[in-house]
């Protein structure tokens, strides 16, 4: 996720662009840049790091011009660096482009353009767009953009300016947001509404495959063939602060709602388009040698460790390989036994967690190869890993991890399934069934979110409970761990997770009328066992919420409340069954008058040991 902005009007563009980018920093903050068109031609300035570094860079110079585009980046292709920052230009430096999204066929286009003599400067997917526009430019920038759109695949919100075609900005979108602000004597574009509000509350929402051409005094719209369209403005009522969270009260709620999109992005690039619907991990450099491992060792901290616990069950189920999963802060102080045929999977949203990095370096010293699953391109973990699989979740701002977790699960499943195929423990038919189920998950996650009021109602009755226990078996136990963590970290409720079979070995002594028990029940073969556990805690006075499939009636008589999720294959249920718990934790936090985005004593990235 990146943020793009554009301005054309009577005022100076630079301060407008910088101000607008400040409002979009939540979308990405690893580098930023602007391109301004004035009497001196096109001036491009960019800098790695937070926006303030760009501001420092341009503080001592005056960049004159009344139109321009800008970008705040969250790296996907190419590490954060000055050169990979946007805007990108064609060879002559006369055409500048900013982009939010992923050009999926960039590698092919790059080779093709190189064959036509183009020398690339950056490692980004975006640079191909600037060169393609130049390639198709025949005196009309709009036509060159239309021709370029015919050749690019993937998701994009693009803004383009050219020295040869001054006095207009061309903007286009597909699967990435773009809003046009209609001002007086000025028009703007932005990835989201907040940057526009200082200028206007009249906006056009650009739809997929629509093109906007912004002039100082009006905006024209076209479809991707160049046929003229008419669009109406929408009046925005939002206050500025709400707008920065996309209308959500908190970043956490916004990020919970971003899961369908994040899951789609994480999955899409890894599913082959060949008829057999295979998993394609070539982009991360994964080959058959990885599956020759004798053992998989997974290490991580917190939520990422919970993704690892799901991973253990998934690897055992699909790939029949021994798996060890350990908390990084434990692993690094143990005296673990390394085997040259072990492979490590290190999971970290930030890629900077001190204990996780220490465990990773220890494994490296022991001669192990490892795959990193991380959300941050260019993070220390990504730089030091043998292979990197990115979770394309976009920046996660809220301290409590949500979309990073579900996308980590998606990555873990893809690796486990590919292992299974390569090791011959999963046949093509089973693999195809799993892929088909994974492909449905983003939409199903949307369906879970559509029922969020049910969780909200349940939370409004239970939020004052002082004790909450989550229980489940196998994959549901892993999700119980993550659910309990979510609730405790943002609502400060004392919550714990138990493997349901362990209750009678001690924890049941804690259960009384003041206890909420959430039973996660998606492992069909163990429903009767879970039913007995539910009856045991109910007999001690607990209130029981069951999370199970929408078409399942097994628990109708035992539960006090049931939250239903769409049916999927039992081993894949964690991606869906965690969402009700994320929502429950969120609502409890808000009902207790807390700020779920800023829980006490916690930081987003734990870079201390």
Longest dimension (CA), the chain: 80
CB of 592 to ligand F6R, least distance (A): 17
The residue from 84, 176, 264, 303 that contacts ligand F6R (CB under 6 A) is 303
CB of 406 to ligand F6R, least distance (A): 12
Separation between Cα atoms, residue 43 and residue 34, nearest integer Å: 8
Separation between Cα atoms, residue 395 and residue 29, nearest integer Å: 8
Q: CB under 8 Å to 99, separation ≥6 — which residues?
A: 2, 4, 71, 86, 88, 125, 126, 129, 156, 157, 158
Cβ atoms 519, 480 nearer than 8 A: no
The residue from 100, 349, 407, 493 that contacts ligand F6R (CB under 6 A) is 349
CB of 577 to ligand F6R, least distance (A): 17
Site string (487-526) toward ligand F6R, x via CB under 6 A: --x-------------------------------------
CB of 596 to ligand F6R, least distance (A): 11
DSSP result, 168-196: -EEEEEEBS--EEEE-SS-EEEESSSGGG
Q: Which is nearer to ligand F6R, 155 or 303 (CB)?
A: 303
User: How many residues belong to the site for ligand F6R (CB under 6 A)?
Assistant: 15
Of 105-113, 146-154, 296-304, 314-322: span binding ligand F6R (CB under 6 A): 296-304
Separation between Cα atoms, residue 2 and residue 190, nearest integer Å: 11
Question: Contact between 582 and ligand F6R (CB under 6 A)?
Answer: no
Q: Which is nearer to ligand F6R, 301 or 521 (CB)?
A: 301
Closest residue by Cα to residue 586 from 415, 334, 403: 403
**Tokens describing residue 363:** 């494994």
CB of 364 to ligand F6R, least distance (A): 17
**Tokens describing residue 50:** 């937070």
Q: Which is nearer to ligand F6R, 14 or 401 (CB)?
A: 401
604 catalytic per annotation = yes
Active-site annotation holder among 2, 411, 434, 588? 2
Closest residue by Cα to residue 2 from 395, 331, 303, 289: 395
Give long-range contacts, CB 8 A cutoff, 24+ apart: 147-151: 149/209, 149/224, 150/224, 151/105, 151/109
The residue from 32, 304, 327, 426 that contacts ligand F6R (CB under 6 A) is 304
Of 140-148, 299-307, 519-527, 549-557: span binding ligand F6R (CB under 6 A): 299-307
Question: Contact between 422 and ligand F6R (CB under 6 A)?
Answer: no
Question: Contact between 400 and ligand F6R (CB under 6 A)?
Answer: yes
Question: Contact between 605 and ligand F6R (CB under 6 A)?
Answer: yes
Q: Calculate the CA 129 to chain-centre distance.
A: 24
Question: Contact between 302 and ligand F6R (CB under 6 A)?
Answer: yes
Question: Contact between 350 and ligand F6R (CB under 6 A)?
Answer: yes
Site string (447-486) toward ligand F6R, x via CB under 6 A: --------------------------------------x-
Q: Which is nearer to ligand F6R, 148 or 348 (CB)?
A: 348
Helix (H) or strand (E) holding 332: none
Question: Contact between 353 and ligand F6R (CB under 6 A)?
Answer: yes
Q: Which is nearer to ligand F6R, 266 or 356 (CB)?
A: 356
Of 145-153, 186-194, 302-310, 470-478: span binding ligand F6R (CB under 6 A): 302-310
Name residue 214's beta-bridge partners. 169, 219
DSSP state of 46: E
Name residue 115's beta-bridge partners. none
User: Closest residue (Cβ) to ligand F6R?
Assistant: 302
Buried (b) or exposed (e) across 337-376, using 16+ Cβ within 10 A?
Answer: eeeeebbbbbbbbbbbbbbbbbbbebbbeeebbbbbbbbb
Q: Calculate the CA 28 to chain-centre distance.
A: 11
Q: Which is nearer to ligand F6R, 152 or 400 (CB)?
A: 400
Question: Contact between 301 and ligand F6R (CB under 6 A)?
Answer: yes
Active site residues: 2, 604
Binding site for ligand F6R (CB under 6 A): 301-304, 348-350, 353, 356, 400-401, 485, 489, 605-606
């Amino acid at each position: 996720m990146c943020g793009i902005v554009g301005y054309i009007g009577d005022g100076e563009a630079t301060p407008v662009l910088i101000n607008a980018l400040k409002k979009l920093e939540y979308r990405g903050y690893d580098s930023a840049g602007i391109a301004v068109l004035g009497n001196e031609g096109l001036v491009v300035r960019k800098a790695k790091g937070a926006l303030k570094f760009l501001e420092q860079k341009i503080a001592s110079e005056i960049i004159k011009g009344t139109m321009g585009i800008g970008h705040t980046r969250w790296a996907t292709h190419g590490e954060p660096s000055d050169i990979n920052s946007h805007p990108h230009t064609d060879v002559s430096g006369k055409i500048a482009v900013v982009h939010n999204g992923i050009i999926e066929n960039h590698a092919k286009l790059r080779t093709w353009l190189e064959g036509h003599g183009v020398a690339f400067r950056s490692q980004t997917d975006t640079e191909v767009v600037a060169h393609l526009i130049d390639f198709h430019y025949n005196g009309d920038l709009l036509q060159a953009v239309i021709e370029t759109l015919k050749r690019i695949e993937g998701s994009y919100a693009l803004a383009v300016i050219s020295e040869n075609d001054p006095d207009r900005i061309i903007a286009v979108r597909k699967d990435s947001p773009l809003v046009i602000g209609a001002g007086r004597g000025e028009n703007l574009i932005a990835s989201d509404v907040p940057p526009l509000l200082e200028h206007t509350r009249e906006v056009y929402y650009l739809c997929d495959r629509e093109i906007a051409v912004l002039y100082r005094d009006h905006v024209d719209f076209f479809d991707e063939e160049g046929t003229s369209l008419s669009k109406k403005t929408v009046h925005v009522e939002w206050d500025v602060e709400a707008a920065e969270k996309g209308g959500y009260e908190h970043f956490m709620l916004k990020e919970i709602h971003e899961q369908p999109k994040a899951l789609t992005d994480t999955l899409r690039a890894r599913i082959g388009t060949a008829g057999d619907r295979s998993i394609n991990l070539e982009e991360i450099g994964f080959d058959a040698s990885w599956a020759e491992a004798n053992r998989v060792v997974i290490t991580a901290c917190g939520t990422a460790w919970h993704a690892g616990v799901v991973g253990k069950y998934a690897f055992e189920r699909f790939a029949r390989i021994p798996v060890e999963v350990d908390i990084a802060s434990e692993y690094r102080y143990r005296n673990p036994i390394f085997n040259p045929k072990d492979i490590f999977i290190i999971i970290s949203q930030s890629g900077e967690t001190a204990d996780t990095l220490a465990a990773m370096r220890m494994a490296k010293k022991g001669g192990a190869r490892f795959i990193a699953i991380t959300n941050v391109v260019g993070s220390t973990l990504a730089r030091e890993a043998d292979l990197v699989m990115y979770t394309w979740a976009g920046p996660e701002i809220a301290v409590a991890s949500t979309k990073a977790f579900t996308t980590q699960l998606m990555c873990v499943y893809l690796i486990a399934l590919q292992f299974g195929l390569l090791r011959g423990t999963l046949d093509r038919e089973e693999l195809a069934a799993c892929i088909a189920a994974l492909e449905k998950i983003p939409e199903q996650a949307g369906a879970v979110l559509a029922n969020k009021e049910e969780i909200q109602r349940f939370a409004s009755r239970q939020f004052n409970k002082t004790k909450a226990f989550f229980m489940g078996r196998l994959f549901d136990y892993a999700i119980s761990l993550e659910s309990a963590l979510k609730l405790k970290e943002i609502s400060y409720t004392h919550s714990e997770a138990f493997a349901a079979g362990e209750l009678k070995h001690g924890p049941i002594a804690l259960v009384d009328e003041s206890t909420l028990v959430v039973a996660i029940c998606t492992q069909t073969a163990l429903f009767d066992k879970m039913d007995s556990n539910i009856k045991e805690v109910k007999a001690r006075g607990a209130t029981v919420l069951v999370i199970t499939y929408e078409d399942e009636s097994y628990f109708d008589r035992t539960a006090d409340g049931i939250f239903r999720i769409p049916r999927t294959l039992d081993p894949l249920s964690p991606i869906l069954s965690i969402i009700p718990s994320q929502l429950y934790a969120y609502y409890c936090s808000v009902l207790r008058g807390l700020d779920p985005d800023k829980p006490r004593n916690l930081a987003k990235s734990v870079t201390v040991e």
